[in-house]
């Protein structure tokens, strides 16, 4: 028998759209993604959704062979039924199931996968007539146990589609069980995000107000004002902020977290060999510190050959080693203890400039050295296309976790405070929210903090709508601990995602950001304590000033408190 899923799946009040399609108005989806194998697979999530015969309790009904291989039904020792694709000669030779996709719906996918030898990537692929194959997600499957493949697709079309499974190793048998494809409207998805935000970003707190002698203060007038959010929601800044009062005022009134878009990069700090210049970066650091703005350090080194200082590109290996070591020591020592994070080797899944010239352990060594110089700061791997798109195998969650494990397994790196940086540069079109969620679910299994580090959306008619969807999706996820947008004023050159025009008036995307800043904080609230001196409130995590007015003396006392995820009770002795 299959293991029951940990999360309770509620599915009722369904609207049927044709004979194959249903959308459920009430649901509770599982945000967890197991990265460890199970001896037996769990039951299909959401009851399989629109998949017919998802657990193969009716044999192979509804399933066919795709390509030149073959399929067969197998039964485990515990009586669990599953399907095996074998005699494969092409990567896409597998089992297939036809479904009807409808335009404008989000489809969340999951399946349990095993192979007959070794370990191999297995992808779920949606085959749409007259269009390219769409990868919905991948898993590193193994022999001897079942791995959960999670992913999804957004349908910008109405069409039949075939669900296939792909493995580049054609000698591998693909074993499949507990398949689910669950459709959601954007409205339903948003409702689920809101529920998660209430759960992850707010706490229901019971307050008790007493006099100095400990007796309950009945009918005390209470004023609650949030002074700062616990969740880091920030914005990139560049050198234009130094000379623009409008830019400074706009930024400081909204954001308490930032990343300098270019001013801490090597090509900015040492454009000519031996001539270091931190004047601009230092000035920006001082501005941030004066305004209580925390800074992410971006970046120590960049693995893309194109973005090296010109003088670095033609150095010999020995010269590069000395120059890179000097660079790491220089920038990290200068700002040690002043930052909340470092992007250590930027984009070193896509690129390998330092590894190619200095050996495969170069990244690991620089992580080690940076942490030695700044041991209280989180060291991030930072990449693009991991969360934005599903088609780049080099930076998918499997590759990301493999690279991170390689770095953290290097001798001396086991104690590093490490973090996962996902840049978040989104192109044209509706973001694949189901795939985004699956990526966050998978990466969350590392237990490391996840930040969206450079979020922007290419300029297009629906930019503001898509930006809002992206920000809500990452904010509601329990593993995400911060968001930085690479967006800002037109006068500062933010041409992709512009938040204010040349007169510092909001664009549509700027309206979205201001709306979310306001929505994700507790509004100033007035209430009264009851006969036991108590009152309850649901509060966003953060810092608060709470003013108590004594009903006898009419004197007021203001105290400061911090509300976190674990806060359930606060005693106020006024």
Q: Which residues are catalytic?
A: 347, 454
C-alpha to C-alpha distance for 339 and 174, rounded to whole angstroms: 47
Cα 2–chain centre separation: 30
Q: Provide the β-strand partners of residue 146.
A: 38
Instruction: Confirm if 147 and 397 have CB atoms less than 8 A apart.
Output: no
User: Cα dihedral angle (249, 254, 260, 263), rounded to 10 degrees?
Assistant: 0
What is the token pair recorded at 34?
Answer: 């197991």
Instruction: Confirm if 131 and 104 have CB atoms less than 8 A apart.
Output: no
C-alpha to C-alpha distance for 32 and 477, rounded to whole angstroms: 10
69: number of Cβ within 10 Å: 20
Peptide bond into 299 cis (omega under 30): yes
C-alpha to C-alpha distance for 372 and 197, rounded to whole angstroms: 36
C-alpha to C-alpha distance for 167 and 169, rounded to whole angstroms: 5
φ/ψ (deg, to 5) at 124: -95, 135
What is the token pair recorded at 168?
Answer: 């580049």
Instruction: Confirm if 284 and 242 have CB atoms less than 8 A apart.
Output: yes
DSSP string for residues in 105-124? -EEEEEEEEEESSSEEEEEE
Secondary structure of 347-415 as H, E, C letters:
CCCCCCHHHHHHCCCHHHHHHHHHHHHCCCCEEEEEECCCCCCCCCHHHCHHHHHHHHHHHHCCCCCCC
Distant-in-sequence, close-in-space partners of 39: CB < 8 Å, separation ≥ 6: 145, 146
Which DSSP letter does residue 565 get?
A: T
What is the token pair recorded at 459?
Answer: 């300029």
What is the token pair recorded at 82?
Answer: 């599953």
- Strand order, beta sheet including 94-101: 64-66, 94-101, 159-166, 119-127, 133-142
C-alpha to C-alpha distance for 482 and 472, rounded to whole angstroms: 12
∠ CA(376), CA(378), CA(379), 5° rounding? 125
Helix (H) or strand (E) holding 430: none
Count Cβ atoms within 10 A of the Cβ of residue 554 and give its class: 0-12 exposed, 13-18 middle, 19 or more buried.
exposed
Nearest to 254 by CA among 267, 273, 241: 241
∠ CA(4), CA(197), CA(295), 5° rounding? 120
- Strand order, beta sheet including 534-540: 534-540, 202-210, 569-573
Instruction: Confirm if 545 and 558 have CB atoms less than 8 A apart.
Output: yes
């Amino acid at each position: 028998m299959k293991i029951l899923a940990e999360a309770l799946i509620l599915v009722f009040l369904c609207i049927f759209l044709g004979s194959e399609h249903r959308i459920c108005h009430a649901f509770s989806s599982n945000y967890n993604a197991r990265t460890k194998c199970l001896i037996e697979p769990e039951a299909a999530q959401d009851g399989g959704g629109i998949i017919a015969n998802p657990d193969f309790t009716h044999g192979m009904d509804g399933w066919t062979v795709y390509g030149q291989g073959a399929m067969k039904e197998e039964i485990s020792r515990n009586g669990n039924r599953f399907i095996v694709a074998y005699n494969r000669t092409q990567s896409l030779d597998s089992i297939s199931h036809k479904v009807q996709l409808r335009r404008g719906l989000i489809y969340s996918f999951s399946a349990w996968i095993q192979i007959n030898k070794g370990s191999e990537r297995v992808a779920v692929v949606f085959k749409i007539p007259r269009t390219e194959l769409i990868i919905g997600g991948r898993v590193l499957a193994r022999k001897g146990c079942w791995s959960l493949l999670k992913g999804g697709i957004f349908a910008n079309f109405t069409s039949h589609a075939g669900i296939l499974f792909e493995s580049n190793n054609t000698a591998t048998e693909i074993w499949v069980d507990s398949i689910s494809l669950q459709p959601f409207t954007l409205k339903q998805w948003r409702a689920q995000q809101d529920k998660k935000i209430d759960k992850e970003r707010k706490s229901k707190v019971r307050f008790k107000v007493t006099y100095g002698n400990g007796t309950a203060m009945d009918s005390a007038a209470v004023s609650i004002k949030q002074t700062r959010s616990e969740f880091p929601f920030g914005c990139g800044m560049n050198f234009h902020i130094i000379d623009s009062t409008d830019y400074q005022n706009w930024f400081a009134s909204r954001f308490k977290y930032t990343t300098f878009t270019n001013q801490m990069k090597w090509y900015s700090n040492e454009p000519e060999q031996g001539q270091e210049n931190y004047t601009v970066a230092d000035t920006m650091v001082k501005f941030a510190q004066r305004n209580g703005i925390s800074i992410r350090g971006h970046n120590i080194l960049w693995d893309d050959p194109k973005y090296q200082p010109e003088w670095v590109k033609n150095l010999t290996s020995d010269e590069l080693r000395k120059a890179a070591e000097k660079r790491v020591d220089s920038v990290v020592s200068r700002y040690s203890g002043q930052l909340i994070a470092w992007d250590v080797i930027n984009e070193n899944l896509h690129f390998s400039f330092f590894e190619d010239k200095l050996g495969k352990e170069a990244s690991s060594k620089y992580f080690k050295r940076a942490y030695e110089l700044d041991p209280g700061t989180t060291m991030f791997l930072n990449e693009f296309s991991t969360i934005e798109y599903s088609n780049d195998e080099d930076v998918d969650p499997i590759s990301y976790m493999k690279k991170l494990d390689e770095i953290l397994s290097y001798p001396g790196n086991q104690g590093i405070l490490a973090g996962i940086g996902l840049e978040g540069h989104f192109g044209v079109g509706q973001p694949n929210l189901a795939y985004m969620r699956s990526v966050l679910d998978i990466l969350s299994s590392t237990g490391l903090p996840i930040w969206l580090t450079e979020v922007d959306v290419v300029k297009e008619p629906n930019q503001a709508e898509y930006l809002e969807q992206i920000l809500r999706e990452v904010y509601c996820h329990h593993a995400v601990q911060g968001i930085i947008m690479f967006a800002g004023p037109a006068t500062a050159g933010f041409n992709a995602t512009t938040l204010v025009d040349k007169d510092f008036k909001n664009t549509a995307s700027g309206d979205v950001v201001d709306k979310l800043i306001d929505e994700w904080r507790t509004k100033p609230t007035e209430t009264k304590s009851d006969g036991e001196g108590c009152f309850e409130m649901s509060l966003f995590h953060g810092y608060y000033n709470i003013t108590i007015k004594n009903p006898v003396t009419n004197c007021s006392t203001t105290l400061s408190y911090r509300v976190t995820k674990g806060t359930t009770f606060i005693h106020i002795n006024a």
